[in-house]
Structures are given as structure tokens and as C-alpha cells.
Amino acid sequence: MQIADLLGAKGIGVIALLPDTDISNAALLLSDQSVGVAAVIDEEEGLVGILSERDITRGLAEYGAAVVDVRVDQLMTRKIISCTPETSIEGAITLMQDNGIRHLPVVEDGNHLIAMISIRDLMDVQAEAYRQAG
């Protein structure tokens, strides 16, 4: 099974922020959408980072209450680990395990973001396969 199969059931689309968004608005978006991560997209470069609740927590520890005025690009994770729709489910799980991450951008054509998958998405696929086999 490939990521494309998961996306067929889950759908595509992603919560995204611009690099110059302030953390206050970023946190509101994460809360409103009930998600723990957003892609950071530059109009010219495409996917440039990931902002997670953990990044915001680290920013709070560093900047205190002033973190609300800090820009997303100051806190985002810049090292992007991603997969493609052709990546196997097992390959995506391995990427997450090896890199200690819980969210994985799905990209096409180099850097064109089409979706974001979570470890929960992958666990759901594995659990369903287990149920069907048993």
C-alpha cells in the first residue's frame, strides 16, 4: 500500500501559513482547525518549513509572552522530511521513526505540497489492515 492509497481515503489539502505570519495568528489557526502542525509556504519557494505546537512551546520558553509577536519563520522547523504519493506506508513509518517526527508532508514534483499525513493516519491504516487480516 502506498501513501496515494491513504490520500484517496483521507483526501488532499493542507493547513498552511506564510513565513511572516505572527505566532498569535498561527496558534489561532492551529486551534481553529484542531491540528497540531501547519506547513509554511513561501509563494516563490514552495514548502519552506513546518510549524508545530512543539515549536510554539519552545518559542514560549525562549521569548516568554512576547512569542505572540514572533514570526512563524523564526520558530518553524526548517529541516523538512517529506514523502511522495508513491512512498509505501512502511516507508513513511520508517521515515517518521528514523527522524523522530509525527507529521510528514506529501510532495509532488520536487517541492509541491499536496497533503500532510500524521502518524495517526498511518496507525489507522495499519490497524485496518490488521483487522482485515484477522
CATH number at residue 88: 3.10.580.10
> What domain range is 24 assigned to?
3-133
Global pTM reads 0.85
**pLDDT attached to residue 10:** 66
The position carrying cell 491513504 is: 6
| 89-99 and 119-133 helices, crossing angle to 10° | 140
Each residue's pLDDT tens digit, 80-110: 999 999 999 999 999 999 999 999 999 988 7
| Percentage above 70 pLDDT, the chain | 96
Q: Count of domains in the chain?
A: 1
Q: How far is CA 93 from CA 23, 44, 128, in A?
A: 29, 30, 15
**pLDDT attached to residue 93:** 94
In sequence order, the β-bridge partners of residue 5 are none
What is the average pLDDT value for the chain, to the nearest integer?
91
